[in-house]
Amino acid sequence: MQMGTPCLATPLWLRGYSVIPTPRIVQLEPDDVVFGNQWTVDDSSVGAEHIAVRSLLRDVAAFHSLELRRGTGPKVVRLGVAPGAVATRAEPETDAQAYRLSIAEDAIQITGNAERGLFYGVQTLVQLLKRDNAGRLLLPKGTIEDWPRLQLRFLHWDTKHHQDRMETLKRYLDWAARFKVNIIGFELEDKFEYPSHPAIGAPGAFTTQQLQEIVGYGLERFIQVVPQIQSPAHMAYVLKHPEFADLRADGNNYQSKLYDQRTCELVFSMYDDAIKATHGVGYLFVSTDEVYYAGIEGTRRPYTPENRSLAWVEFVRRAHEHLAKQGRRMLIWAEYPLLPQHVSMIPSDVIDGIIGNAEYIPIENKLGMRQLAYVPMQGEEVLFPNHLALEDEKGLSKGRLEEAFESIASGKHWSANPIGAFGAAWDDAGLHNETFWLGWSAVAQYGWNPGGAPVEQHVAEFMNVYYGPRTEGMVEIYRSMQRQARSWEKTWDRVISRMRGPGYGSSHGKGHGTARHDMTLSAPPLPALPNLKCEPVMGTKYAGFVAEARTRMAENDRLMMALQANLARVDRNRYNLEVFLALARFMGHHWRLLAGLADAERMCEAAQTAAQKQEPAQAVNHLVTAGNTVGELRSEGERIFAELTTVYEKSRYSKGQSAGGRSFVHVFDDTKDHWADRTADLSFMMVPERSIGLDKWRESLLEVLVQYAKQNNLCRPNV
């Protein structure tokens, strides 16, 4: 099929079989093959310890409760490697990923053009297995020949605002491998120790040995874990430390001085530290994005657009020279401030990770430079990504999966010479990584076979593969999570930040469009003595928010019930639903908070009416009810947040943890408005609610109550 054309449901899916990514060539026969404990695995040509063999035995047991035996028998699965078994006419690195899977009544043959191809063939076989109504495992009779369209399929693992536990990263690599991903862009930030500069590594950061363990685990599964090191911009994680203060460009934490030799010495030593911890990896991602102020220190050249571009190019060339000596191929974000006339100065073996400007493409083509098809699967949404299309007040908006399908199938990179795809999932908003898997799987799908399956089929197949076939209503759960998260975002005021000052600037210049905003709400009015007069806020200013909350409460109840039901049905990745459930509870509390504040305000208004009627005891009762309502809401909010923290920290360490006698150094990025950057710990999620000041409001209400009761000769109220 031509890229960019609409696609129909695939033959395997029409037969009820799920595979991610969609295989390239499928020839099916009418019948199915029954697969059970009478089958054996012949590993004689590759060895019992080959990862393809171990993966097959482990996953068939884990996913289907079937313990396969090694050896030969009347029904056998044979694994082998035969160069050229599948004729791909592709580049050698792509050809090596090809496999043939033949399924017959008594024999299954998986043959890879190389070992990685064999491994990918096993992943397809395991995904194909399904049970019929009688409980038998079935496979489709026929032959599959498959290889990727793009050599490199990157997934992005950003640790800007969290650090994962080792077992989490290994599980991540297992699932990335099942989706035939072969590169991880591991954005280390300060979650690596950097032995040359120990101050940079956050408390508890991965050691060199730990990072090498992660890398080795990936390499065994044909995944390269590539260090992605933010520099020379986005360097607050380095420049916040006093020992690097004199390298701050223009005095800000965001970017280091490009004309200072010490910047290269520092950054290149960080590269060296990462290289020593990632033996076996052939790449290093040097970032270079959003270098807004290249050469702003102005010690060598005037600060002009041309000189900004040349300063950026000079850094790239020096970084390339340094990495080439160590056998690492360099990836960059080629974008602002790079001018098209300077693209030809970039070494030709550099990989452009984003194609920031369409004018670069003909120049890169002339150089023979390769590119990545960049698709952002998350960047700005809080709590949950916009995976799927949703109807809102502006109409039907595209989801990130649909955008990924269109971009990879027919994006501007196809007028260049792409070597891979990059599925970004930025940690800026602090989302839990379990919320990214649908998006990551789509990048794996379309990086392997652009346009190979329609979006709706991919979504359905993902639910089947990732959770197991017994779950129900998972697509609606995802849509509900999106609706809840987007409504949660919009039912807050946006006010100029009280936590931090204005940002430094942007690519438009210093001080342009950099005001920071916080989410908050005004507290309900406090009754004023002597007559308990109050001016409503929830019923006027926030009437729309309250109406939204009452609508979303019913949806949240349905969402919670659906998640609870599926926790009993899910065959794998139960923790994923546990994260969703914790988030659903968190959002459900917000709706109760808004509705409860509206109720508390009505109690205050009722108290005012009672005071006017000379019914002080009734007025006090109303105010007590208002105070207790708010107190219960605040207690609920902190309890639910504590539960969410417990769930999150099953897979990651405490955000901003202290370790080894060191405390985390928290500063704000000088240009970015990252939601997760607001606090050193996970409490950024509770900052909006806490900023309302409801605890203080309740204390003040008690003071009003005591004075009012005293004025009216009533007993001290119990709040």
pTM: 0.96
Q: Nearest-CA neighbor of 355 among 429, 418, 308? A: 418
Residue whose C-alpha is closest to residue 110's, from 57, 60, 43: 43
d(CA 51, CA 110): 14
Q: What is the pLDDT of residue 717?
A: 67
**Nearest Cα residue to 707 out of 535, 537, 526:** 526
The most confident of the ranges 21-30, 253-262, 297-306 is 21-30
Q: How confident is the model at residue 714 (pLDDT cuts 50, 70, 90)?
A: confident
The one-letter amino acid code at 317 reads R
pLDDT on residue 65: 94
Helix (H) or strand (E) holding 55: helix 51-64
Is the backbone peptide bond immediately before 140 cis, with ω within 30 degrees of 0?
A: no
**Of all residues in the chain, what percent carry a pLDDT higher than 90?**
88
Q: How far apart are CA 670 and CA 506, in angstroms?
A: 10
Tens-digit pLDDT profile for residues 149-194: 999 999 999 999 999 999 999 999 999 999 999 999 999 999 999 9
Domains of the chain by range and CATH? 25-146 (3.30.379.10), 152-461 (3.20.20.80)
Q: Which token pair is 579?
A: 């994260």
Q: Whole-angstrom Cα distance, residue 95 to residue 88? A: 6
Other Cβ atoms within 10 Å of 9 Cβ, number: 12
139: which residues sit within 8 A by CB, 6+ positions away? 32, 33, 35, 103, 108, 125, 128, 129
Chain centroid to CA 597: how far?
A: 33
- The sign one gets for the Cα dihedral 328, 331, 337, 343 is positive
Does position 503 have pLDDT exceeding 90, yes or no? no
**Which stretches within 277-414 are classed as H helix?**
305-324, 360-367, 400-410
Rounded to whole angstroms, how far apart are CA atoms 590 and 596? Answer: 10
Convert the pLDDT of each residue in 38-90 to its tens digit.
Answer: 999 999 999 999 999 999 999 999 999 999 999 988 999 999 999 999 999 99
Can you point out the beta strands (E) in 467-615?
Answer: 493-496, 505-506, 509-510, 517-520
Q: Residue 497 pLDDT more than 90?
A: no
**Strand pairing partners for 186?**
157, 227
Helices (H) and strands (E) in the chain, counts: 19, 22
- In the prediction, which pLDDT does 252 show? 87
**Dmax over Cα atoms in the chain, in whole Å?**
96
pLDDT tens digit sequence for 621-656: 999 999 999 999 999 999 999 999 999 999 999 999
Residue 242: is the preceding peptide bond cis (ω within 30°)? no
Q: What is the average pLDDT across 223-238? A: 96
Over the stretch 386-400, which tens digit does the pLDDT of each residue have? 999 988 767 778 899
Let me know: does 138 contact 132? Beta carbons within 8 Å.
yes
Task: State the Cα–Cα distance between residues 354 and 405, nearest whole angstrom.
Answer: 16
The answer to whether residues 123 and 441 touch, using CB atoms and an 8 Å cutoff, is no
Q: H or E element: which one contains 35?
A: strand 25-35
